[in-house]
Structure 1
Amino acid sequence: MTVTEIEKDLKVNNNDQKSEENVEYLEPEKPKFSWRVVDNHSPPEIYNWTLYMSIFVFGILGAARGLDEANSAGIAVQKSFRDQFGLNDPNKSVHEIADLKSNITAMVQLGSIGGAVIASFLVDWVGRVRSMQIVCVCWIVAVIIQITSRTLGQLYVGRLLEGLLAIGLTTTIGPTYISEVTPKAIRGMAGCIFAGAVYLGIMLSYFAHYGTAVHISQDSNTQWIIPNTLKIVFAGLIFILSIFFCVESPRWYIKVGKNETAVKALSKLRHLPETHPFLIGEITDITEQVEFEKRAKEGNTLWGLTLQLVRTKSMRYRFFMLSAMIHVLGQWSGANSVTIYAPELFGLSGIKGVETLKMTAVLGVVKFIGAYISAFFIIDFLGRRKALYIGISLQMMALLFFALFLLLVPEAAHEGEQASDLSPSQLHASKAAMAAIYISGLGWVTGFNSMQYLIGSEIFPINMRSFAQSITMVVHFANQYGNSKALPKMLLTLQPYGTFFFFVGVNFLALTWAWFCIPEVSGRSLESMEELFNLPWYLIGRRGHILCPDHSEVNKIDYSKGKFRYLDKPETEMHENASKASDDKEDD
Structure 2
Amino acid sequence: MFFRKKDPEAPPEILNWRLWFGVFVFGLMGAARGLDEGLTGTTATLSSFRHLTGLDNKALSAADKADLLSNITSMVQMGSILGALVAFYLTDKIGRLWATRELCVVWVAGIAIYLSAASTGSLGMIYAGRFIAGVGIGQTTVVAPTYLAEVAPRFVRGLCVCMFSGSVYLGIMLGYFSSWGSSLHISGTTQMQWVVPNLLHIYFAVIIAALSFFAIESPRWLVKVGKHEKAATNLSKLRNLPTDHWYVQAELLDINDQLSREREATMGTKWFGTIRELVMLPANRYRLMLSVASQVLGQWSGANSITIYAPEYFAMMGTTGSNEKLFATAIFGVVKFVSSMLCAFFLIDYLGRKRSLMTGITLQFLAMLYMAIFLLMDTSIEEEGAIVAGSVKRAAIGAIVMIYVSGFGWAWGWNSIQYLINSEIYPLRLRAIGGSFAMTFHFVNQYGNSKAVPEMFLTLTTGGTMMFFSVVTLLGLAWAWFFLPELSGKSLEATDAVFDLPWYIIGRKGKDLTAGVGGVVEAVGKKGGVESVETVERRV
Q: TM-score range by the shorter chain?
A: over 0.9
| Corresponding residue to 2:130 among 159, 174, 177 | 159
Equivalent in the alignment of 2:296: 328
Partner of 1:93: 61
Corresponding residue for residue 241 of structure 2: 272
Write out aligned runs for 1:135-146 (5 A): 135-146=103-114
Q: Are 2:518 and 1:548 equivalent residues in the alignment? A: no
Aligned residues: 530
Give the one of 99, 115, 118 matched to 2:86: 118
Deviation at 1:240, TM superposition (A): 1.2
Deviation of 1:411 after TM superposition, in Å, equals 2.3
> What's the counterpart of residue 402 of structure 2?
436
Q: Pick from 474, 482, 498 the counterpart of residue 508 of structure 1.
A: 474
In the alignment, is the contact (CA less than 8 A) between 2:3 and 2:155 conserved in 1? no
Which shifted more, 167-176 or 526-535? Answer: 526-535
SS of alignment partner, residue 566 of structure 1: helix
Distance 1:156 1:550, change over 3 A: farther
The letter of the residue matching 1:196 is G
Separation of aligned partners in 1, 2:508 and 2:239:
34
Contact 1:209–1:227 (CA under 8 A) maintained in structure 2: yes
Moved more, 300-309 or 190-199: 300-309
Matched, 1:176 2:142: no
Note closer, same or farther for the CA distance 1:292–1:229 as it changes in structure 2 (3 Å cut). same
Is the counterpart of residue 282 in structure 1 residue 286 in structure 2? no
1:444 is displaced (CA, Å) by 0.4
Cα offset, 1:550, TM superposition = 3.8
Does the CA-based 8 Å contact 2:77-2:443 persist in structure 1?
yes
Aligned letter for 2:188?
Answer: Q
**Alpha-carbon separation, structure 1, partners of 2:106 and 2:151:** 25
Question: d(CA) in 1 for partners of 2:68 and 2:92?
Answer: 37
Note the residue ranges of structure 2 that are not aligned, 5 or more in a row: 536-540
* Residue identity in the other structure for 2:445: N
Moved more, 528-537 or 393-402: 528-537
Q: 2:350 aligns with which of 372, 381, 388?
A: 381
Separation (CA, whole Å) in 2 of partners of 1:103 and 1:228: 18
Distance 1:311 1:72, change over 3 A: same
SS of match in other structure, 2:520: coil
Note closer, same or farther for the CA distance 1:224–1:300 as it changes in structure 2 (3 Å cut): farther
1:585 is aligned to none
Higher deviation after alignment, 421-430 or 43-52: 421-430
Q: CA deviation at 1:137?
A: 1.5
SS at 1:148's partner residue? helix
Distance in 1 (CA, whole Å) between partners of 2:63 and 2:160 is 43
Q: Is the 8 A contact 2:3 2:156 kept in 1?
A: no
SS of 2:518's equivalent? Answer: coil
Q: Which moved more, 1:307-316 or 1:515-524?
A: 307-316
Match of 1:69 in 2: 37
What stretches of structure 1 of length at least 5 have no aligned partner? 1-32, 570-588
8 Å CA contact retained: 2:48, 2:193: yes
1:559 and 1:565 in contact (8 A); partners too: no
CA distance in 2, matches of 1:520, 1:550: 14
Q: Is 1:185 aligned with 2:155?
A: yes
Structure 1 CA distance for aligned equivalents of residues 98 and 508 of structure 2: 40
2:360–2:411 CA contact under 8 A, matched in 1: yes
2: CA distance between counterparts of 1:193 and 1:302? 34
How far residue 565 of structure 1 moved from its aligned partner, in angstroms, is 5.8
CA offset at residue 442 of structure 1? 0.6
Q: Supply the AA of the counterpart residue of 1:151.
A: S
Shift in CA distance, 359/565, structure 1 to aligned 2, threshold 3 Å: farther
Q: Judging changes above 3 Å, is the alpha-carbon distance between structure 1 residues 543 and 404 closer, same or farther for their aligned structure 2 residues? A: same
Question: Given the superposition, is the C-alpha separation of residues 116 and 284 from structure 1 closer, same or farther in structure 2, using an over 3 Å criterion?
Answer: same
Cα deviation digits, residues 243-286 of structure 1 (max 9, x gap): 12x10000000000000000011011011111111111111111
- Residue 39 of structure 1 aligns with an amino acid whose one-letter code is D
> In structure 1, which of residues 382, 393, 404 is the aligned counterpart of residue 373 of structure 2?
404
**Aligned Cα root-mean-square deviation (Å):** 1.8
The equivalent residue for 1:492 is 458
Contact 1:40–1:560 under 8 Å retained in 2 = no
Q: Which residue of 2 aligns with 1:254?
A: 223
- Partner in structure 1 of residue 202 of structure 2: 232
Q: Normalising by the residue count of structure 2, what TM-score does the alignment of the two structures yield?
A: 0.95
2:490 is matched with: 524
1:193-236 deviations in Å (ceiling 9; x for gaps): 11111000000000000000011111111111011000101001
Q: 1:558: how far off?
A: 5.5
The amino acid of 2:24's aligned partner reads F
Identity %: 47
In the aligned structure 1, how far is the partner of 2:493 from the partner of 2:239?
Answer: 18
Q: Which residue, out of 282, 301, 305, partners 1:337?
A: 305
- The answer for the alignment partner of 1:538 in structure 2 is 504
Q: Distance in 1 between matches of 2:62 and 2:410?
A: 30
Paired letter, 1:540: I
- Once the two structures are superposed, the pairs formed by residues 461-472 of structure 1 within 5 Å of their partners are 461-472=427-438
User: 1-side partners of 2:172 and 2:84: how far apart?
Assistant: 21
SS in 1 for 2:7: coil
Aligned counterpart for 1:363 among listed residues 324, 332, 342: 332
